[in-house]
Chains A and B, each alone.
Chain A
């Protein structure tokens, strides 16, 4: 009896000890809290910054319609851009932006896909050792340099070739083509490399030629990735301001052809930004242009996500 009691007591004491040991915080757990805290803080700050930027641009951008009582339809469809006189038809810039973006993407995509196929399928070694660094270098060149080259080379060339001033959509397209080419190429290369090797082997073992394998199996299964690459390229082209501003001519009029001066949303923003007074219609109108840019970039993002999802469905169905 005596002994059992003793044992019980001892057990109690032990279990008490364990209770304390298993509940106390150690150095490791404290570090855990700190790490988590820092991480939450960072994400909190970023969310705050993004949210306030969205709110700021949106509130400023819609002031044109709420304070200055310009109708949204007139803003989107009007072709007369003279904010000083109260005319803010943004259609010329919208058309200009879309024109250079699509034209650059259409011209760049075949070159990018061709280069990517060369780098992954035809000559993977040279692709990795020579072309990859070259293309990565192209990505890193600042846009002002592209614009400068455009101004010094492309514009005079166009002037010589087709007459006029040389400034215009075609010059902007050319500069943007060079700028988006590396973006589309690198991303296409990634998506081609991600195609499982066994697809290629299966196709070759069936007697398909290399070209048939590339065109019908590899490109097919890389299509979602290539589309994403093109959209990223378009997003870059749509948002590019400086280089475009330097070569497009900055005339806020409806573009009648590819070789007369025009303007884009971004080029109009950079051109007009210094000349307006905060709170006035010309200033608010620029914010509205910025809002369109923001919405477009959201749209491009959503498109990329949509394609990624569809691609997954297709491969995993």
Chain B
């Protein structure tokens, strides 16, 4: 039996005005039909930092993440506000396609298209009206370099992306996202299908990428959260229980539920 924890006692940090935030949510709630999957999440995400969302399966962290670039449209009902550059992007009349250009997403399972490596990256650029051959070439190169994949694939850009290893495919997916030059990169358990060596490569890539992008990563792996993130939010049964700097969370958790989760004596 899962231990009962009070949802009243939470420790969620807020940021002072001088910290610039890439995104912020206010009273974000998610419903799958009658199922209340996410309760009142108020989180801010500092610019050019990696924020990790941790928690057990079914804690609502992926649901929350998918809401941030409106990938839950037509799947779930999302209420509350999502602030991005001073605009509430959870309003129905915003252009979701434009949002997703600025807030990119990488999924749990590497999901490159059944096209060549080059085509995988060029696809979204073309869809957004970028046509110049030179510019496309350049974007392919810079994004692959950004995702630390360039050296491995520069001679085989026209080979099928499906021939790459899992770790390479995931880095290609990251490259594909950053080719759009987004502000924010959302990653939904990007390493859960990868072996440890590929995981390390992806993590190194993320640490490099945070110089240019604000990153929010959902992970099951607490060591990963500790390794890569600066801020860390702990989700439990659809509630944000604790949100603190990562160092604090892992050395000095503020509330019992977090303490139990990170020490493994959960439930």
A206–B120 CA distance with the chains assembled, in angstroms: 11
Contact indicator A208/B124 (Cβ below 8 Å): yes
0 or 1 for each of A167-185: is its CB under 8 Å from B? (1 = yes): 0000000000000000000
User: Which residue of chain B is the closest to A210 with respect to CB atoms?
Assistant: B97
Given contacts A316-B162, A317-B160, contact A207 B71 (CB under 8 A): no
Contact pick for A204, options B71, B109, B163, CB 8 Å: B71
Q: Number of contacts between A and B (CB, 8 Å)?
A: 69
Contact indicator B104/A205 (Cβ below 8 Å): yes
User: Which residue of chain A is the closest to B110 with respect to CB atoms?
Assistant: A198
Contact indicator A207/B97 (Cβ below 8 Å): yes
Question: Which residues of A197-220 have CB atoms within 8 Å of chain B's CB atoms?
Answer: 198-199, 201-209, 212, 216-217
Given contacts A216-B123, A317-B163, contact A205 B71 (CB under 8 A): yes
Contact indicator B173/A202 (Cβ below 8 Å): yes
A21 at interface, CB cutoff 8 A: no
A284 at interface, CB cutoff 8 A: no
For residue A299, give the distance in angstroms from its CB to the closest CB of chain B: 28
Residues of B contacting A257 in the complex (Cβ-Cβ under 8 angstroms): none
A212–B177 CA distance with the chains assembled, in angstroms: 17
Question: Which residues of A68-88 have CB atoms within 8 Å of chain B's CB atoms?
Answer: none
0 or 1 for each of B152-184: is its CB under 8 Å from A? (1 = yes): 000000001011000000000100110010000
Which of B97, B112, B176 has the most CB atoms of chain A within a 10 A radius of its CB?
B97
A4 at interface, CB cutoff 8 A: no
A191 at interface, CB cutoff 8 A: no
| Tally of A interface residues using CB under 8 Å | 20
Residues of B contacting A202 in the complex (Cβ-Cβ under 8 angstroms): 107, 111-113, 173, 176
A221 at interface, CB cutoff 8 A: yes
A42–B181 CA distance with the chains assembled, in angstroms: 63
Contact indicator B127/A209 (Cβ below 8 Å): yes
Residues of B contacting A27 in the complex (Cβ-Cβ under 8 angstroms): none
For residue A201, give the distance in angstroms from its CB to the closest CB of chain B: 6
A314 at interface, CB cutoff 8 A: yes
Contact indicator A201/B163 (Cβ below 8 Å): no
Contact indicator B111/A199 (Cβ below 8 Å): yes
A314–B163 CA distance with the chains assembled, in angstroms: 11
A199–B160 CA distance with the chains assembled, in angstroms: 15
A221–B123 CA distance with the chains assembled, in angstroms: 14
For residue A227, give the distance in angstroms from its CB to the closest CB of chain B: 16
For residue B99, give the distance in angstroms from its CB to the closest CB of chain A: 8
For residue B97, give the distance in angstroms from its CB to the closest CB of chain A: 5
Residues of B contacting A317 in the complex (Cβ-Cβ under 8 angstroms): 160, 162-163
A315 at interface, CB cutoff 8 A: yes
Contact pick for B124, options A207, A314, A316, CB 8 Å: A207
Residues of A contacting B127 in the complex (Cβ-Cβ under 8 angstroms): 203, 206-209, 212, 216
User: Which residue of chain B is the closest to A314 with respect to CB atoms?
Assistant: B114
Given contacts A206-B127, A207-B127, contact A199 B162 (CB under 8 A): no
Given contacts A202-B107, A205-B107, A209-B127, contact A315 B101 (CB under 8 A): no
B151 at interface, CB cutoff 8 A: no
Contact indicator B123/A207 (Cβ below 8 Å): no
A315–B100 CA distance with the chains assembled, in angstroms: 27
A202–B173 CA distance with the chains assembled, in angstroms: 9
B69 at interface, CB cutoff 8 A: yes
B128 at interface, CB cutoff 8 A: yes
A221–B115 CA distance with the chains assembled, in angstroms: 9
Question: Which residues of A207-247 have CB atoms within 8 Å of chain B's CB atoms?
Answer: 207-209, 212, 216-217, 221
16 additional contacts, CB 8 Å, given A199-B114, A201-B71? A198-B107, A202-B107, A203-B113, A205-B69, A205-B71, A205-B107, A206-B127, A207-B97, A207-B99, A207-B104, A207-B180, A208-B97, A216-B127, A315-B162, A317-B160, A317-B163
* 7 residue pairs bridging A and B, Cβ less than 8 Å apart: A198-B111, A199-B111, A202-B107, A204-B100, A205-B177, A207-B97, A216-B127
Chain A interface residues toward B at CB < 8 A:
196, 198-199, 201-209, 212, 216-217, 221, 314-317
> Which 4 pairs across A and B sit closest by C-beta, in order of nearness?
A207-B101, A206-B124, A198-B111, A205-B105
